[in-house]
Amino acid sequence: MSTVLALETSCDESAVALLESDGKNFYVLSNEIASQIDAHAKWGGVVPEIASRKHLEILPSLLEVALSKSGKSIKEIDAVAASVAPGLSGSLLMGSITARTISALHGIPFLGVHHLEGHLASVFLSAHPPTKPYLVLLVSGGHTELIKVGANGCFKRLGYSHDDAAGEAFDKVARLLGLPYPGGPGIQRLGERGDPKRFQLPKGRVSKPEGGFYPYDFSFSGLKTAMHRKVESLKADSLELPIEDLAASFEQVVAEVLVERSLRCAIENQLNTLVLVGGVAANRRLRKMMIQKASDQMIKVHLAPESFCTDNAAMIGAAALLRLLFVPRYSSLNLGVSPRWPLEKADLLYQASPPF
């Protein structure tokens, strides 16, 4: 059995987890998350300095609780992992420095994990993980990407958002409707009672310089603008905002765009398995639509467990265990953090001379 202690601090969630693997299955021994929602809600979004300070304050006690619940001691840990890219630099540093300190003090190998690789690994915390190759729709507050995971485990980005990520669009539209941050849960709750066909909203596309459109890419800024204009128009007519129908219509068009382009990408790249991960992957309308539409195309869908869709340390631990199981390499203690680092270059995080 391999045991990993994992930390996740890429944005505004402080998280610590311990995981084991017998080479085939993954077992989450503990998974602690300290939310910062209340600290950022009044600002309508994440404040980087506040996020860093909160990580610093909570990590020691969070580590203590996670170790206690796991029944493991530090001496039983085979490796310690932390997200090192991408994300907020200050937040990443809090987790990375903590993990590297534990590594140095106790002589435990360190793995610096790419945050998106963590999201991709979250599906391996489900009862029935996929078999490579497959296509991943990673949809969260900061990312909306279509990523091919090859038979050899390599990553290739096939589509992405050119402006707002889907989760970011949820937050901005929620603010427009007077809903609290984060916006996804509020829009989903209201949308379940609304009419998703009442308002016709645009499915943003990204133009190619030579003409036509990128088939697998996303754009949500036009949708956000259309929602703003619709709300302002209703207010100008002194009408009470039908926020349930507005929420349902917005949620419906986002789900349709994500599903349609994901399935087109899978079909045209001859991939018969599609994986859905990331915070927005917990959205019930999206999950239901993806399963139904994919079934029509004879494409198998694997969903990350809802409890591991939003940022958490268990997914970072899963990514680290996959590295240890199939490519047993470690990161240098001199590895820093990077707010932007492409997933395709994640292998460089495990070389003797770190890339940053």
pLDDT tens figures, 4-37: 999 999 998 999 999 999 988 999 999 999 988 7
Q: Which pLDDT belongs to residue 148?
A: 98
Assess whether pLDDT exceeds 80 at residue 227: yes
Assess whether pLDDT exceeds 80 at residue 42: no
How many Cα atoms are found within 13 Å in the side-chain-facing hemisphere of 97? 11
Q: Which pLDDT belongs to residue 356?
A: 97
What's the distance, Cα to Cα, between the start and end of the chain in Å? 32
Phi then psi for residue 159, to 5 deg, are: -160, 155
Q: Name the CATH superfamily, with its identifier, for domain 2-121+309-350.
A: ATPase, nucleotide binding domain (3.30.420.40)
Cis omega before residue 182 (within 30°)? yes
The set of residues, in sequence order, having a beta carbon less than 8 Å from that of 192 and lying 6+ positions away, is 248, 284
- Quote the CA–CA distance of 222 and 116 in Å, as a whole number: 26
- Quote the CA–CA distance of 272 and 329 in Å, as a whole number: 31
- Quote the CA–CA distance of 217 and 311 in Å, as a whole number: 23
- DSSP H helices, 74-141, are 89-106, 115-121
The residue to which tokens 């915390």 are assigned: 125
Phi then psi for residue 81, to 5 deg, are: -125, 150
Assess whether pLDDT exceeds 90 at residue 141: no
The residue to which tokens 């945050």 are assigned: 115
If one looks up domain 131-303 in CATH, what number appears? 3.30.420.40
Q: Which of 83, 101, 2 is nearest to 328 (CA)?
A: 2
Query: CATH topology of 2-121+309-350 equal to that of 131-303?
Result: yes
CB 111 within 8 A of CB 320: yes
CB 318 within 8 A of CB 125: yes
Provide the 8-state DSSP code for 241: P
Assess whether pLDDT exceeds 80 at residue 41: no
Phi then psi for residue 35, to 5 deg, are: -80, 145
Assess whether pLDDT exceeds 80 at residue 158: yes
Q: Which pLDDT belongs to residue 37?
A: 76
Assess whether pLDDT exceeds 90 at residue 174: yes
Across the range 264-271, mean pLDDT stands at: 98
Q: Which pLDDT belongs to residue 220?
A: 97
The residue to which tokens 């680092």 are assigned: 341
Tell me the pLDDT band of 317, cut-offs 50, 70 and 90: very high
Mean pLDDT, the chain, whole residue set: 95
pLDDT tens figures, 281-307: 999 999 999 999 999 999 999 999 999
CB 172 within 8 A of CB 228: no
CA dihedral 49, 95, 7, 111 (to 10 degrees): 140
Across the range 331-355, mean pLDDT stands at: 97
pLDDT tens figures, 113-132: 999 999 999 999 999 999 99
Q: What are the extents of the domains in the chain?
A: 2-121+309-350, 131-303
pLDDT tens figures, 234-251: 999 888 899 999 999 999
- Quote the CA–CA distance of 228 and 319 in Å, as a whole number: 39
Lowest mean pLDDT among 41-55, 73-87, 161-175: 41-55
